[in-house]
Amino acid sequence: MNKYPFIFSDQPQYRIQRHLYFWAFWWIFQAVLYSFTPLPASLGPAFAVWERLPYSLVESAIYLIAHMFLAYSLMYFVLPRLLLKNRYLATGIWVFILFIATGALSSVLSLVIVDPVRNFVLPAYLQPITRPRAVTFFQGLLAGLRGGITIGGMAASIKLMKHWYVKEQRNLQLQKENAEAQLQLLKAQIHPHFLFNTLNNIYSHTQNVAPIASQLVMGLSDMLRFILHECNQPLVPLSKELAMIRDYISLEKIRYDDRFDIHIDTPADTGNLHIAPLLLLPLVENCFKHGASNMLEQPWLNLQIQLKDETMEMRLMNGKPASPTHTAGFGIGIHNVRKRLELLYPGKHTLKIADEEEVFVVVLSVQLEQVRGLRRAIDIKLQDNYA
């Protein structure tokens, strides 16, 4: 997308330029086309093409009102809200309504603006023959439909081509990110059976003589089991993701004894909601890495997660030292979270971060997927990524 910013960038400067160039081209094209429209034989020699072009430019500019109405209605209403959401019947109905409305608007513009302007600027002998308003309106309707179908088809085609190209590039980037993540995992991979057997042995030997160490081993074992067995899927149940977050916080809390003030409020019932695995952990990990670990007195953390229909809202706050300490790599975890959100939940999330003097606040809202069965979750995610 960065390779062709004029075409694909959403920055205002490029978007304005694209639209200006498009409508300038259409305006001039229509004007030249109107200039070559045949005239009655008695008027042709007296009114050549180059003499008609200035009048055609004015008429074409007036008709742009109807053409813009149709183009933007298709690009920003019909396509994103109906066609791309597989609502084909509603798409057909609205396209028909918009075409008729555009033809009617063109006819009204012809009666109210174009004809008076033409009668005012043209010589009397070149003015068109007066016809009944009903006939003129019908002819204007047909002409408006012809122009509307042309410009509407062009605008919709450009919008769809851009949408599919951007989606394809996003899918390619997802595949690249997944391949890199798998490569990193293979480089550091330890056989799971060996790992869990070792942890179980440590747990059995420390359960009676060192209960805190035993608790740490059990919590670590649960986290590793989740990472190794669940995170190879595109989606995991939200309940398991939240359980893993609570296990991680419990492990970290043991390091601070009773000095750490932690408040966690998560929903008891998450239904069939699923989320991308390990999406929330870097945000919580950041609280300990750059917040609690640098505070000598009274470290604290507040985590609140609420569900509103299929939208998860998370508010995470933690204390931080008044005088910030330099930590190498600060912000990498949050940067990765931003990147994953953009790839996995485009247009379905908001992430706001406030880095105040003594508090760090993260507010995240994500529209999750309601899935019945993990196999169905995989099918939906793959269909969304590779359709």
Whether 215 is in a domain gets the answer no
Query: Domain check: are 37 and 165 in the same one?
Result: yes
Question: What pLDDT score was predicted for residue 41?
Answer: 44
Query: Domain check: are 165 and 62 in the same one?
Result: yes
Q: Do the Cβ atoms of 380 and 344 come closer than 8 Å? A: no
Whether 365 is in a domain gets the answer yes
Whether 274 is in a domain gets the answer yes
Whether 112 is in a domain gets the answer yes
Query: Domain check: are 365 and 274 in the same one?
Result: yes
pLDDT at 197 over 50: yes
Query: Domain check: are 162 and 52 in the same one?
Result: yes
Query: Domain check: are 171 and 263 in the same one?
Result: no
Reported pTM: 0.49
Q: How confident is the model at residue 236 (pLDDT cuts 50, 70, 90)?
A: confident
Q: What is the CA radius of gyration of the chain?
A: 32
Query: Domain check: are 53 and 159 in the same one?
Result: yes
Query: Domain check: are 37 and 164 in the same one?
Result: yes
Name the average pLDDT for the chain.
77
* pLDDT tens track for 70-92: 999 999 999 999 998 889 999 99
Domain boundary among 120, 151, 175: 175
Whether 93 is in a domain gets the answer yes
pLDDT at 291 over 70: no
* pLDDT tens track for 336-368: 888 888 888 988 999 999 888 778 899 999 999
Whether 78 is in a domain gets the answer yes
* pLDDT tens track for 293-326: 555 567 788 999 999 989 999 999 988 776 655 4
Q: How confident is the model at residue 257 (pLDDT cuts 50, 70, 90)?
A: low
Q: How many domains is the chain partitioned into structurally?
A: 2
> Which whole number is the average pLDDT over 118-138?
59
Domain boundary among 175, 210, 242: 175
Question: What pLDDT score was predicted for residue 162?
Answer: 86
Q: Do the Cβ atoms of 78 and 91 come closer than 8 Å? A: yes
- Ranges of H-type helices in 256-356: 281-290, 332-344
Domain boundary among 175, 193, 223: 175
Whether 235 is in a domain gets the answer no
Question: What pLDDT score was predicted for residue 273?
Answer: 92
Domain that holds residue 283: 258-372
State the pairing for strand pair 311-319/273-275: unpaired
Whether 182 is in a domain gets the answer no
More confident residue, 247 or 362: 362
Of the given ranges (93-102, 261-270, 280-289), which has the lowest mean pLDDT?
A: 280-289
Question: What pLDDT score was predicted for residue 143?
Answer: 75
- CATH at residue 306: 3.30.565.10
Edge-to-edge order in the sheet of strand 311-319: 261-265, 300-308, 311-319, 359-367, 349-355
Query: Domain check: are 21 and 122 in the same one?
Result: yes
pLDDT at 387 over 50: no
Query: Domain check: are 286 and 170 in the same one?
Result: no
Which tokens hold the place of 212?
Answer: 């805190």
pLDDT at 67 over 70: yes
